[in-house]
Structure 1
Amino acid sequence: MDIAAGSWPAPQDSRPGGIEIGIVIPAHRQPGFLAEALEAVLSQRAPGGGAPRLAAVVVDDGCPFAQTRETGLAFARRHPDRIFYLRRANGGLSAARNTGIDFVLRAWPGCRALYPLDADNRLHPDFLARALALLEESPAEVGWVYPDFDFFGFAENYSARGAYSALLHQLENHCEAGSLIRRAVFEAGLRYDETMRDGFEDWDFWLRAGHRGFRGRHLPRAGFLYRKRAESMLAGSERRRAALLATMRGRYGAAQRARALLRLEAAEAPRFALHLAGEEAVAFLLDPAAEPAERLDWPRAHARLAESFRSPQAVHAPPVCVFAEAGTLARLAEAGLLRTVFHHAMLALREAALVTVSLEAEPDGGLALAAAAPGAEAAPLLFARSRLLEDWALDPEPDGLERALEAAPAGMAGFRVGLPEPVTGGGEAPPPALPLLRAAAAGLRDLVRRRSAMPADWRAEWRRPRAQALEAYPELAGCGPPLPYLAPEDGRDIAFLLPLFAFGGVEKVVFNYAAVLRRRGWRPHLFITGARRIQPMPGHAAVFESLNFFPGESIEGGDYDRLHLGACVSGFALWKDTRDAVGLLAGMDVVVNTHALGGHGLMQALRGQGVRTWLGLHLVERGPFGQPLGNPHIALAYEGAYDGVVVISDQLRDWCVGQAMPAGKIVRVLNAPSYEPVPGRPAEAMAARAARPAEAPLRLLYLGRLDAQKGLERLRDIILRTRGPRFAWRLAGQAVLGDSALDLGQTGIAVEPPAMDAAGLDALYAWADVVLLPSRFEGVPLTVLEAQRFGCVVVATDVGAVPEIIEDGRDGFLLRTDRGEAAVVEDAVALLERLAAAPALRRAVGEAATARVSAANWERNMAEWLARLELPLELPLELPLEIPPGPAA
C-alpha cells in the first residue's frame, strides 16, 4: 500500500495468539536480493516445528527500480497474513526502518519484539525463534540480542561473544543492525535518527538505547548472514568514520563525560584485581574503598584471569593485580591516600611492569607520596600488570618470576608513602606482599599450562581487548582516567586545588571551608599541584575525603614567554599532556582553584566534563620591587573558565570588579579565626593579663611564616630596637616558600616551631600582650582575628585588607607603609614603647578587639557561597540526547 498520507489500515491477524515478531525490511536499490530475504523470513521455524508467529513489512523507500515493487507485491499477495508491502518517498535507511516500526507497533499490539532485516541479508531457519527465546528469558533491561558477524560474498567470520559492555560499545560497534529488539525499546520513544544518512545509524541507535538503560546480550550460534561486497553503504561509512563518529558522539553530552564512563567502568570493566593476605577471595574493583563489582574465590578469579589471557576481547579481567594485606590499605585509607596511591600506580604501569609501594613514618606528622627506588622483597603493597602474570605463567622455566624480580629495577617503579605516626597497625611494619604475588603467579601457571592449545573461538577477533577499557576516557571524554573513586550520585564532591598545603593562612582558610562543607553534607577532596607532601591540619582525616597529588612532580610552572597584562600564564601544557591532570579531577562535581597556577589551564576542560569551577582569591601579592602582581593578575587571563569567584575582602572584590570581572560571579566570604580555642581559654587569658603587674615586661609575639611577604627585615630591626628589660619577645613559625629566616638569628631569639593545634595556639596568644605583623602585603590575616579573640593588641601594617579588620587606635593599630621602610620601623618602635607604658590602653584596645571578632563565624560568612553551591548545575547548551524521527512522508 502507498503510505504517502501517513496512515494505513491495521491488517487482520487471524492466527491464535497473534504476531510475536514483526520484521522490518527496508528496500532500496537491491531488488535482486529482496526475494532471498523474504524467503529467509518465510523459512523461519518455530520451536518444535510449525510456523512461527511472525510477519514482515517491506518498506519500499522510493526505490527507482520497478522490480522492488513487483517483488514486494508478489510476496504480499501470496502470503497476505505474513508479508506486507509499503511504499514511501525516499527518506533514507533510518526513515524506512522507522516507517516499518511504526506500522508494526500499530498493527500488532501483542508483538513482543521487532527485527530489522536488511534486504540483502539472510537468516538461518531457527534464528528468530532462538533469538526470541533468549530475549524473553533475559531481564527486562536486556533490550536486544545480537549475533556474531558472519559474512558471505566475502566470506569472513568475526566474533561478538562475551558479556555485553555498554562502555566498550561506545568505542566500537559490536552489535549488528540485524538484532532482535524488545518492543519496550521502541515504546520508550526510541527510533533511528533520520538525519544520519551516511551510516552508523544502527550504532547510534544502540548507544541511545543504552543511555536509556537498555543493554544488549550476545546470541551464540545465531545463524545471521551478512552480505559483504567491495562497495556498500558500510564500506562508504568506514571511509568517513572519523567525521561520522565526531558527529554522532557530539550528541550524547553528559553520557560520554568522565563521570558517566566511570560508573560503566566500575560495573563492567573494573581496573584492579585485589588479592588480600588471609582472604580466600579476589575482589574485582575500581574504587579500593568501595564494594567490589565482583568477589571471586582464588580458583575462580585466576580462572577468569587465565581465560582473559586466552580471549581478551570476550572476557574481562582487571588489567592490574594488587597484592597487600588489609592493614596496609587501612593505613592508606586513614590518611586519605588510598585512592591516589592506586591511581599513581596504575599510571606508572604504563611504563613499568611492577610497582612497589613502601610505607614510612613522615617527619613532623606530614603526609607524602614520592618516587622511590623500587624494591619488591619488603614492599607491603605491589601492583603488577595482569599480562605480566601471564608472561610468568607461560615462561618455560619454573623460576621465571624470580628471574624477572632479579632483573629489577629495569621493569619496576616505586613509590614511598609518608604517613604520620602513630598509624593504624600499632606502628608495626606491614608484612611484605611478595608471597601473595608468588602464590598468584604459581596458581596461574598451573591453569595456563593445563589449558587447551586450541583457540577459544574459530571466528576471528576484531575488537580491542576488554582490559583496554581505559581508552574510553581519552577517546570519548578527552581526558585521562579519573581518580578511582565511586561517589554517590548526589553532586556533592568538591575538590580544593592548592599548590601546597603547609603552615599558612590560605591553607587554613581552605581547611575551614572544607570543614563547613563537610558538616553540610559535602565530601571535600584535597588536590596538591606543586608538591608531593602536605602538613595536615588537626582533624584532616575527618574533613577531607581524599588527599591527591598530580602525576609527575608538579603541574606548576609559568609560561614566561606569554605574559597577560604582565603576569605569566600556566605553562603546564607546554611540557606535558594535560589529559591525566584533567582526568584526575573529572570525577568531581565542583573544583575550587586557590592559587594553583597549573590549575588554571585545566578549568575549561573540566567545565566540558560538567564540573563547576570556582576561583579562590586571597590577596594581591607584591613583587620584589613592590609592584602589584600574583594570583589575581594571573587569574584575569582565565576568568572566563570559572563559574564563580570567591574573595575574602571588600578590597579584593572591588579590585576584581575594577578589572572587569562580572560582579555577579563574585562572592565575598569573610575570614574568621582558623580554629576553635579550648573552651574558656580566651577569657582566662584576658583575666591573667589584666592581673599582671603594670611594670611587667611587654610580651611581644610574631607568629607566621618566615617568608619575604611577612616583612622579616622590618621584624628584625624592630626587635633589635626593643631589646631590654621592658620587652619580652617570642617568634614562632617556619619558612614555607623557600625563603630563609633572613637575619633573625641576629636578634638572639630562637624561632619556635609553629603551633599546629588549638592548645599550642592558645598558649601563644594567651602569653602575648601584643602581636606584631610587619607584612609587606597581606589579605585578611587569620593571626589578627585569632589574636583579637584573645584580647591581644594587634599591631600590623596597613596593607591589603588589614584595615577592614582593624580600626586604628580602637581595636588595634595600623602602621603606615607609604612613608618608607625606616618610617615603618620607627613608628612600630614608638608605638611599642607607648604600649609598654600604658596597660590601661592595652586593656581597652584588647577588649574592643575581642568584641569585634566575637561574631565571626565561618558558616555564617559562607552563607551566600553555600547557597550558590547548592543550586542545580546549569548544563552547557548541547544537542538533545533524543533525536525524534522525521515524519513518515
Structure 2
Amino acid sequence: MQHISLQPCMAKATPVIAPRIAVVVPIFRHSVLLSEAIESVLAQRSDFAIHIVLVNDGCLHQETDLVCREYVLSYPEQVTYLRKPNGGLSDARNHGIRHALASWPSVEAIYMLDADNRLRPDSMANAMAALDNHPDAGWIYPNIDMFGLTWAGDYGGDYSLLIHTVMNICEAGSLIRREIFDAGVYFDTGFKSGFEDWDFFLTAAEAGFRGRNIENFGFHYRKRAESMLADSERDAEVILNDMRKKHKKLFSQRGLLELEQQEAPRYAIVLSDRDEVILTVDPDAADARRIPIAEFERQWWRTQTDNSQHHVPPIMVMTHSAVLEQLRRAGMLHGVLWKMERRLTRHPFTALEIRPCEAERIRWSESEAQGAADLQASMLMVRPGMLAAIVRDSSLNWITGIAARPCSLPATLLRLELPDTLFVADQDLFTAAAHEMVAFSARCHASPKREALQYRWDWRNADIPWRSRTHEISRRPTKADASYPRVIRDGRNVDFVLPLVEFGGVERVALSIARAMKAAGWKPHLFVLDSAECQFSVEWRDTFESVTFLSDHSFATWGTASSNYLGTDVPDGSRSGDHRQATAMLAWVDVVINFHGGAVSGIMGKLKRLGVKTALSLHLSDHSSLNRLVGNTYLGLAFEHAYDVILPCSEQLGDWCHGMGMPYEKIVPLLNAPSFDLPKGAESRIDIRRASRSADEPLRVIYPERLDHQKGVGRRL
C-alpha cells in the first residue's frame, strides 16, 4: 500500500447518492485488517446505495489514519472518514451513527461492522430484504460463522428476550432499523469492558423492539485465541452485575416469569380426558395455550433433530382436567406444581396422589415410590429430557416400570389429603397418570419420525443450548430448584407467611388482616413454612386465593441459634441457612407479610432487592425464664432494615418500636379487633340489654384466653 500524507482539506466534497444503509466501522488497533472489512462492504451486491462511515477512535497506529484517508479519497461518494479522541467502542459507534442519521435522512438502517470482521457480497441485500418483509423486526441478526478459529454457530429460531437475558444471541454485526435510534436507544458508553452490544439490544427490547434471525445473512466473524471478547469473558460476572442493575425489571423474578410465559412455556400439561395439552407456566394465566395432543407431538419432534431453533415445554405433566379443577378449588394448583418440580431434582418422576380427609384440614406426606408403592397417581410430572431418552431407548421395558406394581422406577410420591367437601360427589378420582405416561411414550416410540433421530440435519452447530433449558432461567435470581409458577400482572397480590396454621392468636390476626385486605381489593395468599398440614376451614378457603407449603427440611424458622440480639436468639437459619426455596416461593408477589416466621426475616432483604415490599406483623413479646421480654418483637428489631413496614397490633407496641429505634414512618399500627363477626342484629340487641341493666347488677365477664404471663393475665384481673 502506498503511504501518503494528506490533509482533510485535500479531499474535495463529492455528492453522496442517498443511501438506505450506513455501515459504521469503529476502528481502534485493527489497522492492518481494516481494508478487508472495507473491501467486503464495497463489494456488496444490492439495488440500493450503501455508505461506509469509518470512525477512527483515537487509534495510536498511524496506519489506521493512512488507510482511512486512502479509501475516502478513492471512494468519496461511498466512504466518510471521522476522527475523534478515544472514547471506547460504544462512543465510536454512537459517533458514527449520529453522523449518518444527521447527514442522510434516506438512511433506513445502520449496520455495525467491526474492523476485523467482513461480509459476504449479498449480506446487506439479504438483511435489508428481511427488514422490508418483516416490519415488526427492529433488527436482523446473523448466525455466527467464524473464520480463523473456525466454527459455525446456529442462532436461528424465534428471537427470545428470555434467552437473551442469559446469553448474547445478537451479534453487534446486526442490521438495525433507524427507528430504534430515533427512540433514543444508543450504545451505553459506561460499558467499556465489553458486552456493550448485549446491553444495547436488551435496551432496544425494553423499548418494545424485537430481533429476527435470518439463515443467509452472510456475516463472517474473525475468531482468534485472544481478543477483546476474551477480555470481556474474564470480567463477565462484573459486567453482568452492572447489566442486571441497569435492567432491573427485566432481570427480576417477575420479569423473567412474564417472559417465560410469553415465549417459552415451562409445562406441557397433558389432559388425558380431552386429548389436549396446555402450554404454560401459570395454568391460570389468560394466555395459556391449548393445543391438540397431535400438535404437541409434532412440536416435540421438531426439537429432536439436533438443533436449537425450536422450543417445546421441557416439563411434561400427565393428568386429568378434573384434577386441575379440584386443585384450583383447594387453592393449591400452583403450590403443587412447584413442589413437584422441585422434587425432579431427586428423581426423574414425581407422582401426586390425592385423598379425601374428613376433617377440614390439608395434609402432605412424602415417600420414595420405587419398590414400595403402586402409583395411583392423579398427576405425574416428568423430568426434562426423559421423553427423549425413552424414545431413543431400544425398547419400552424401562418406562413401563412407572406403572408396575410396585413402581420399579425412581420416583417421589407425594400424598395430598384435602377436605372431602372439595371432592365432587359421585365423581371417580383419576388415578391413571402413570399409565397415561406409558401410553404416550409408546405412541412416540412407534412413530416413523423416530428414524430421523439417527441423522444430523444442520451443517451448523446448535448454539443456543438455553432453548431446551428455558425453565432454568427464571430460577437464576433465587438459585432455587424451581421458580414459583405464578405470573401476576395486577400488582395486588400479598403473601401471608406463617410457620403453621392452627387456631392461635397470630393466625387469627393474619386471617383478620387478610379478610380486610381482600375487601380492599387485594389477593391474599397463604404460605406455611414449617408444618406439613394446616387447618383449612371455610373461612380460610374463602379468604385466601391459594395456599402453599414450603416443605423444605433445610429451612427452619427457629432452630439453633449461635447469636442473640438484646437477649433474643437469632436463628442460625436466618443468617446462614439455605434460603433458596423460601425466596423463590415469595419472590413473585407484590407484598410479603411475615407473621412470626422467625428465620424467614433473613430472606426479606433479598426479596426487597427483587422488588417485593416487605412487612412484619408484631403481635406480642414473650417472656424468658427470668421474666425478661424476648421473642419476635426483638427479632424484628434485629432485621428492621430488611422491612419496608412494621405492623404492630397496638399503639402501645408501636410506641415501643419507635422507642427501640424504628422510625415512625415505618410503623403502621393495625389495632387488634374482634376476629369474629357478630350475627346480624346482635349489636342492637346487646345495646338494648345494656341500657336496661341496673347499675346494681354484677358485671359478667368471659375470658377465653390462656392464663399465663404472655397474655398479661395480671393486667386483665
Q: Structure 1-normalised TM-score? A: 0.74
Conserved in 2, the CA contact under 8 Å of 1:306 and 1:444?
no
- Structure 2 matches for 1:354-373, cutoff 5 A? 354-372=349-367
Conserved in 2, the CA contact under 8 Å of 1:161 and 1:218?
yes
- Structure 2 matches for 1:186-205, cutoff 5 A? 186-205=181-200
Shift of the alpha carbon at 1:639? 1.0
CA distance in 1, matches of 2:522, 2:414: 30
Where does residue 330 of structure 1 map in the other structure?
325
Conserved in 2, the CA contact under 8 Å of 1:11 and 1:107?
no
Shift of the alpha carbon at 1:462? 4.2
Where does residue 821 of structure 1 map in the other structure?
none
Tell me if 1:351 matches 2:352: no
Where does residue 3 of structure 2 map in the other structure?
none
Return the match for 2:238 from 237, 243, 247. Answer: 243
Where does residue 616 of structure 2 map in the other structure?
615
Where does residue 391 of structure 1 map in the other structure?
389
Where does residue 400 of structure 2 map in the other structure?
402
Deviations 1:676-730 (A, max 9, x none): 23212465678899999xxx999986645xxxxx13xxxxxxxxxxxxxxxxxxx
Shift of the alpha carbon at 1:265? 1.2
Where does residue 421 of structure 2 map in the other structure?
422
Tell me if 1:74 matches 2:70: yes
Deviations 1:794-841 (A, max 9, x none): xxx344xxxxxxxxxxxxxx31xxxxxxxxxxxxxxxxxxxxxxxxxx
Letter paired with 1:609: L
Cα distance change of structure 1 residues 477 and 179 upon mapping to structure 2, 3 Å threshold: farther
**Aligned positions, number:** 702
Where does residue 378 of structure 1 map in the other structure?
376
Shift of the alpha carbon at 1:396? 0.8
Where does residue 33 of structure 2 map in the other structure?
33
CA distance in 2, matches of 1:689, 1:62: 92
Conserved in 2, the CA contact under 8 Å of 1:477 and 1:609?
no
Conserved in 2, the CA contact under 8 Å of 1:474 and 1:579?
no
Tell me if 1:412 matches 2:345: no
Deviations 1:9-45 (A, max 9, x none): 998444xxx3211110112222222222122112212
Conserved in 1, the CA contact under 8 Å of 2:265 and 2:279?
yes
Where does residue 523 of structure 1 map in the other structure?
523
Where does residue 536 of structure 2 map in the other structure?
536
Q: Structure 2-normalised TM-score? A: 0.91
Conserved in 2, the CA contact under 8 Å of 1:22 and 1:113?
yes
Deviations 1:515-572 (A, max 9, x none): 1211221111111112122213433333212111114245312342111111111332
Letter paired with 2:631: G
Tell me if 1:280 matches 2:278: no
Deviations 1:351-377 (A, max 9, x none): 111111111123421123332454564
CA distance in 1, matches of 2:564, 2:174: 58
CA distance in 1, matches of 2:100, 2:184: 14
Where does residue 589 of structure 2 map in the other structure?
588
Conserved in 1, the CA contact under 8 Å of 2:356 and 2:417?
yes
CA distance in 2, matches of 1:578, 1:271: 23
CA distance in 2, matches of 1:509, 1:482: 29
Gaps of 5+ in 2: 1-6
CA distance in 2, matches of 1:645, 1:130: 60
Where does residue 627 of structure 1 map in the other structure?
628
Cα distance change of structure 1 residues 324 and 470 upon mapping to structure 2, 3 Å threshold: closer
Shift of the alpha carbon at 1:661? 1.8
CA distance in 1, matches of 2:446, 2:219: 38
Tell me if 1:491 matches 2:491: yes
Letter paired with 2:424: G
CA distance in 1, matches of 2:692, 2:419: 41
- Structure 2 matches for 1:206-285, cutoff 5 A? 206-285=201-280
Cα distance change of structure 1 residues 559 and 188 upon mapping to structure 2, 3 Å threshold: farther
CA distance in 1, matches of 2:391, 2:703: 64
Shift of the alpha carbon at 1:600? 0.7
CA distance in 1, matches of 2:698, 2:248: 69
- Structure 2 matches for 1:843-854, cutoff 5 A? none
- Structure 2 matches for 1:634-645, cutoff 5 A? 634-645=635-646
Shift of the alpha carbon at 1:341? 0.2
CA distance in 2, matches of 1:513, 1:492: 15
Return the match for 1:777 from 705, 710, 713. Answer: 710
Shift of the alpha carbon at 1:404? 4.9
CA distance in 2, matches of 1:427, 1:501: 31
CA distance in 2, matches of 1:538, 1:397: 50
Gaps of 5+ in 1: 705-709, 712-774, 780-796, 800-813, 816-889
Cα distance change of structure 1 residues 230 and 20 upon mapping to structure 2, 3 Å threshold: same
User: Which has the higher mean CA deviation after the structures are superposed, 453-462 or 578-587?
Assistant: 453-462
Return the match for 1:306 from 278, 298, 301. Answer: 301
Cα distance change of structure 1 residues 171 and 290 upon mapping to structure 2, 3 Å threshold: same
Where does residue 514 of structure 1 map in the other structure?
514
Letter paired with 2:446: D
User: Which has the higher mean CA deviation after the structures are superposed, 270-279 or 547-556?
Assistant: 547-556
Where does residue 4 of structure 2 map in the other structure?
none
User: Which has the higher mean CA deviation after the structures are superposed, 397-406 or 614-623?
Assistant: 397-406
Corresponding residue SS for 1:60: strand
CA distance in 1, matches of 2:531, 2:232: 48
CA distance in 1, matches of 2:609, 2:338: 22
Tell me if 1:98 matches 2:31: no
Where does residue 661 of structure 2 map in the other structure?
660
Conserved in 1, the CA contact under 8 Å of 2:345 and 2:481?
no
Conserved in 1, the CA contact under 8 Å of 2:497 and 2:593?
yes
CA distance in 1, matches of 2:294, 2:283: 22
Conserved in 2, the CA contact under 8 Å of 1:356 and 1:382?
yes
Letter paired with 1:96: A
Where does residue 467 of structure 2 map in the other structure?
466
Letter paired with 1:230: A
Conserved in 2, the CA contact under 8 Å of 1:360 and 1:418?
yes
Cα distance change of structure 1 residues 138 and 601 upon mapping to structure 2, 3 Å threshold: same
- Structure 2 matches for 1:439-478, cutoff 5 A? 439-447=439-447, 449-473=450-474, 475-476=476-477
Conserved in 2, the CA contact under 8 Å of 1:482 and 1:584?
yes
Corresponding residue SS for 2:258: helix
User: Which has the higher mean CA deviation after the structures are superposed, 260-269 or 456-465?
Assistant: 456-465
CA distance in 2, matches of 1:462, 1:574: 40
Corresponding residue SS for 1:667: coil
Deviations 1:714-765 (A, max 9, x none): xxxxxxxxxxxxxxxxxxxxxxxxxxxxxxxxxxxxxxxxxxxxxxxxxxxx
Shift of the alpha carbon at 1:273? 0.4
Where does residue 854 of structure 1 map in the other structure?
none
Corresponding residue SS for 1:355: strand
Conserved in 2, the CA contact under 8 Å of 1:153 and 1:227?
yes
Cα distance change of structure 1 residues 700 and 672 upon mapping to structure 2, 3 Å threshold: closer
Conserved in 2, the CA contact under 8 Å of 1:21 and 1:113?
yes
Rg larger in 1 or in 2? Answer: 1
Shift of the alpha carbon at 1:226? 0.9
Cα distance change of structure 1 residues 259 and 11 upon mapping to structure 2, 3 Å threshold: farther
- Structure 2 matches for 1:851-866, cutoff 5 A? none
Where does residue 55 of structure 1 map in the other structure?
51
CA distance in 2, matches of 1:475, 1:22: 39
Letter paired with 2:461: A
Conserved in 1, the CA contact under 8 Å of 2:118 and 2:219?
yes
Corresponding residue SS for 1:31: coil
Letter paired with 1:130: N
Where does residue 129 of structure 2 map in the other structure?
133
CA distance in 2, matches of 1:612, 1:397: 53
Deviations 1:381-421 (A, max 9, x none): 11112411222212212333213554846510121222112
- Structure 2 matches for 1:568-607, cutoff 5 A? 568-572=569-573, 576-607=577-608
CA distance in 1, matches of 2:148, 2:620: 73
CA distance in 1, matches of 2:633, 2:646: 11
Tell me if 1:20 matches 2:41: no
Conserved in 2, the CA contact under 8 Å of 1:366 and 1:533?
yes
Query: In percent, how many aligned pairs have the same letter?
Result: 34
Letter paired with 2:63: Q
